[in-house]
Structure 1
């Protein structure tokens, strides 16, 4: 399946949009299991998430977070119970962890959302195979002109190469959230379409 691109003006717009999507996910599905790994991203997604939650309260009592960036104190302060925050590394298998430690009758042990960033070389913060492909929906947050070549490669590759993030094109639901600087890596007509459509 094709990736869905959304081009927004700048890092702040990307952070606000992503935070809103996350808060709505947590609010609409109170047993969400979500992986968050934004260590290579400068858009202040977590800051915006905190502001959003302060404005619109969310019940985090049954939310589980796969924390790839060691932000335990942030999620705890947000309201996620201490025992429902799990630190993972790049190669850890998210599905195995969920099966062993999180699966309940309510959440059915499904990884709902993965939010991640990429480096300027195009590498993800988490294994595509062991983490991202298992999620029901993936959000790639990419900002900055230093990532435009990675975006270009991500767009051009067909998912059958050694460029691992391109493998996500076989995933059923991938949303790539870009600022205008990172979107310079897209062909002009594609960039204009996704800017116009989603502006």
Structure 2
């Protein structure tokens, strides 16, 4: 039940770090099922992922993507077979979709990684119960000064409030990747602790 914050100097470093997590996951587990929803943030994660994959080839033949952002052509260009890219909406039940269409003996029907963004009102646009909490690992990308109030609430709320993102605190593995501007929402000592290690 840990929410890890990682603070980087700018959006480029946030994007590089997040892209590296995604590529390593695909590389280490070639049957990964991953949900990706990044339209609510400016960090160029997918651009960095493409660069990363160009330098470090990945076998995408058994990877399955839950595509929240209608990026089919991007994933096809990476090498994910078209039949393994699934458009999904906020209200869709990721678990049911996986059971119905994706589950194989190799991937065991488990949502391994969910990468998501958040808007300045605190909306994740991914179903928390059916999408985020079911994933083995969640990466939340948050950049920009306009998100610092959301970061403050995320840090302070205990998960028993109406602020939905705080429900992520019940998950066992959540990494919140921030730039300095968004991290202004964290208490100074917390921000310094997580910045000193990663910036």
1:84-106 Cα shifts (integer Å, max 9, x gaps):
00000001110000000000000
- TM-score normalised according to structure 1 size: 0.99
Could you say which residue in structure 1 is the equivalent of 2:84? 84
Deviations 1:143-175 (A, max 9, x none): 000000000000000011110000000000000
Counterparts of 1:1-199 in structure 2, within 5 Å, are 1-199=1-199
Query: Which SS does the other structure have where 2:177 is aligned?
Result: strand
Larger mean CA deviation between 125-134 and 80-89 belongs to 125-134
SS at match of 2:128: coil
SS of the residue aligned with 1:178? strand
Runs of 4+ in 1 over 6 A off after TM superposition: none
Shift of 1:198: 2.4
Structure 2 residue matching 1:70: 3-state secondary structure: coil
TM-superposed deviation, 1:3: 0.7
- Structure 2, unmatched stretches of 5+, are none
**RMSD of the TM alignment (CA)?**
0.6
Unaligned runs of 5+ in 1: none
Contact 1:151 1:185 in 2 (8 A): yes
List per-residue Cα deviations over 1:119-165 (Å, max 9, x = no partner): 01111021111200000000000000000000000000001111000
Is this contact kept in 2: 1:6–1:198, CA < 8 A?
A: yes
CA distance in 2, matches of 1:197, 1:181: 17
C-alpha distance in 2 between matches for 1:84 and 1:154: 33
C-alpha separation between the residues in 2 aligned to 1:185 and 1:132? 23
* SS of alignment partner, residue 129 of structure 1: helix
Distance in 1 (CA, whole Å) between partners of 2:135 and 2:163 is 20
- Between the two proteins, the alignment pairs up a number of residues equal to 199
CA distance in 1, matches of 2:111, 2:30: 13
CA-to-aligned-CA distance 1:11-50 (integer Å, 9 cap, x gap) = 0000000001100000000000000000101000000000
